[in-house]
Structure 1
Amino acid sequence: MTRRTATRSLLPVAAALLLVCAVPIGIHAAEPHPIGPHGGTLVQVEDVRCEVVVADHVVRVWLFDDQGEPVDAGEVRGTLTLQYAENPRRYHYPLYPDTKKNSPGNVLISERLRSDRLDDEVTPRFAFYGLNRQPRQSVTFAATFRTDTARVRQAIAQQTVCPVSGRALTTRATLWNVPIDSQSVFVCCESCIDAVQEHSKQYLMPPVPTDTDQAAPMPVDRP
């Protein structure tokens, strides 16, 4: 058998292996995964847990320690860099502590993004200074933007507490999203996941209404 003939004979096998390897991508999406209390993406940066949230064309990064306590962002500065797949240009946005009245002290906020494209073709990268009280040392990391943050945040607010432990969800720096059928059940810690999966019907919540849901028409009394 020549090398060319052998290569042709292996092509169907390679294609089949490629299809098999692609299957787990969809499976992982249905597995329990950590999520921030504001519905954002969680990234562990040294001993600081960062929650990346994008809403209304503004990026916010919430800072927590390993115990879930807020980390003061007063001396922290950062830069968000966005790069799109088809565009070699990089867009830079400074990140500063949110100084608005009644704003929490553990969040950094960007200026308004110049584009509303936040799909898989966008690569967000962050650089922080002063994260560990060392203003000259920078820490860099990559993250992804969740496109369902508003829906997740609404679902967390509706559920309010972990159905297993009874703890308030808003007091936890890390929640776990446990997909059950087409719904999500949020629990306070990883040890609560098994209980939800074993008794899923007991912990399911009513679905969160969306903006597209229309209320049923009210009956009209006719004379």
Structure 2
Amino acid sequence: MLTKYDKKIDNIRKKISHLLENIAMADELSLEAFKQSDATKFKEVETKLEKIALQGDAIDNEIIKTFALFGPEAKELRFLVAYLKMTNEIVRTGEGVKKYARRMNEHTSNGCNIEQFKPSILLLHKSSVNALKYILECFNQYENCNYEDTYRKVLVEESMNDDLFAVLEKEILNKIIDEKELSIDYVKILGSLRKLERSCDRSVNIANLMMYAEQGGEIKLFN
């Protein structure tokens, strides 16, 4: 039979899982929106993530209440600290997805030639989606998850993401030189794509926190 503490932790875990699921779905929807240049789907992403900060705050409040009510032991304390940090990373990921959708909706409708970068952008976006899905899968199957394996898989996606972003950055900077009249638009596109790069960094942070919660050790996060 579950203790009151176990029930609290299970409730927190479910709320985090729900938050992750919404962000992963929104990120995939944003990818589809870009593929199809669909302004309606971009708006749907923003709507889906509209209250993400409030949801994150609610989870944090539950964690803090659990701290206060149960005076957790060392291992339990580790879980709560990891979850508190994790919520921050998840919310910031969701905010990044929301901003990306809004900005890419603008880019695809303002006449700037983004089609030439589309294959690379799709790969970049897919890696960020994959990283989130690995985390969600592990979180939903936490009792049987291989946390080290999940962390390695997310790291692979993050490494691919970095390489793809570096290529895109070079291509876009060349366009800024060649098409000076559109330089501001290209700079904005580059800033939007950086949201996908940061999403992968945050996925690595979340995977690291999950591993820390289960195994201890050190927390190593991207800044």
Give the TM-score normalised by structure 1: 0.23
Which structure ranks higher in relative contact order (CA pairs < 8 Å, sequence separation ≥ 6)?
2
Q: Point out the structure with max Rg over C-alpha.
A: 1
* TM-score, normalised relative to structure 2: 0.23
Which structure features the higher share of strand residues? 1
